[in-house]
Amino acid sequence: MNRAELEAGLDRWGGDLSAWPPAAAQAARALIGRDDDARRLWRAAARIDDHLAASRAHSAPGHLAGRISAGLDTAPRRGDALETAIGWLTGNRWRPAVLGALLTLAGYLAGVLAVEPVDAVLADEVATLAFTDLYGEVDDAQ
């Protein structure tokens, strides 16, 4: 291993050589043992690791948990809208009847507005055909 390879390893795996692949760690230890610059590189990486590890000891401010719990009262939950609707429906006897009437009205309006009107000319043709002699003849033949 040369110094550049050691640097690449330190950047990738950090200064804790026990976390390196065994062969690379062995080569790194050998280089660090004989090369002052390599040892300096490794020490810098290890100091960074130590510093990062030390920052794991962190506590959130004491008041924050209480603030979070207090905030729940003003935080609507996803799914609450459905629960509210169900609650409204079951809250009073007349409410399901009103909902049924509204749905019936909505269905009627949808039918009136959405269904295509029958072509008046086509309707006349069908009516004429129904009462022609041809139909009468067929009936006679039977």
User: Which residue ranges make up the site for other proteins (CB under 8 A)?
Assistant: 7-8, 10-12, 14-18, 29, 32, 40-56, 58-61, 64-65, 67-69, 71-72, 75-79
Q: Which is nearer to other proteins, 58 or 93 (CB)?
A: 58
Q: How far is the CB of 28 from other proteins (least distance, A)?
A: 9
Chain centroid to CA 23: 43
Q: Contact at 8 Å (CB) between 42 and 10?
A: yes
Q: Which is nearer to other proteins, 63 or 93 (CB)?
A: 63
Q: How far is the CB of 59 from other proteins (least distance, A)?
A: 5
Q: How far is the CB of 27 from other proteins (least distance, A)?
A: 13
